[in-house]
């Protein structure tokens, strides 16, 4: 299934837990694709998006059903990061661990902590986003319940500058303050194949729920 990120996808969607019967739903609520109806490829999904290094008008990727059930959905070299009962894992930043962190392709940016902790200026007009004077590099470490970890490097851009071109809808450096955790939103997915294993489902990487990338 092809996925396209367009201007209509710029609003933030609320996070959903890794549930037994997840759906993919269009903004009009019409496109509902439950995994339950797919008996062969029902143990998870993969979001595959190409890399994006600058703002773009659109981006096309794929939503692949199943993990290790077909020739095109194997885990390959992806590392499994198990999660707690709420679908969360930990993110370490500047020596502090934030255990309520999660991945969420429905968030249009990476939302984490606040300006007091990050040292990144918040926007005046684009409320809810960061607006540093120049692109700021950030390094954090994601940690699964199983001890697996990965160092993640990303750039935080000025949201007001990014939004200045109304034709753009893909923002790999879009970020903003959040709560006391990391919401790894859409920019995290660019250039990665991200696996979501469904709770209680058997996969080559173990029983879900887990993330893998």
Tokens of 180: 């006391």
Higher per-residue confidence, 50 vs 1: 50
90, β-bridge pairs: 143
Question: What mean pLDDT do residues 189-198 have?
Answer: 97
Whole-number pLDDT of residue 3: 54
pLDDT at residue 9 in the model? 43
Contacting residues for 66 by C-beta, under 8 A, at least 6 apart: 38, 40, 41, 42, 43, 44, 45, 73
Mean pLDDT of the chain: 88
Here the tokens at position 191 are 């250039």
Q: How many CB atoms lie within 10 A of CB 164?
A: 10
pTM score, whole prediction: 0.85
Dist. CA 84–CA 111, nearest whole Å: 20
pLDDT value, residue 40: 86
**35: confidence class by pLDDT, cuts 50, 70, 90:** low
Chain segment 99-135, per-residue pLDDT in tens:
999 999 999 999 999 999 999 999 999 999 999 999 9
Nearest to 189 by CA among 71, 50, 62: 50
Domain boundary assignment for the chain: 2-212
Q: Is the pLDDT score of 4 beyond 80?
A: no
Spatial separation of the C-alpha atoms in residues 20 and 82, rounded to whole Å: 16
What's residue 127's pLDDT? 96
């Amino acid at each position: 299934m092809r996925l396209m990120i367009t201007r209509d996808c710029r609003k933030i969607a609320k996070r959903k837990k890794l549930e037994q019967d997840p759906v993919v739903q269009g903004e009009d609520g019409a496109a509902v694709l439950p995994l339950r109806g797919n008996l062969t490829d029902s143990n998870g999904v993969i979001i595959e998006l190409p890399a994006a290094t600058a703002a773009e008008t659109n981006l096309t990727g794929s939503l692949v059903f199943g993990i290790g059930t077909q020739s095109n959905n194997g885990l390959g070299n992806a590392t499994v990061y198990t999660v707690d009962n709420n679908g969360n894992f930990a993110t370490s930043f500047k020596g502090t661990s934030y255990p309520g962190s999660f991945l969420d392709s429905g968030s249009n940016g990476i939302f984490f902590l606040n300006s007091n902790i990050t040292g990144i200026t918040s926007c005046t007009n684009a409320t809810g986003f960061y607006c540093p004077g120049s692109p700021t590099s950030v390094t954090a470490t994601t940690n699964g319940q199983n001890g697996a970890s990965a160092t993640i490097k990303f750039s935080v851009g000025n949201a007001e500058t990014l939004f200045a071109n109304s034709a753009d809808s893909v923002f790999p450096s879009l970020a903003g303050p959040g709560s006391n955790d990391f919401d790894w939103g859409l920019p995290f997915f660019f250039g990665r194949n991200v696996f979501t294993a469904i709770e209680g489902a058997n996969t080559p990487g173990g029983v879900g729920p887990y993330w893998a990338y």
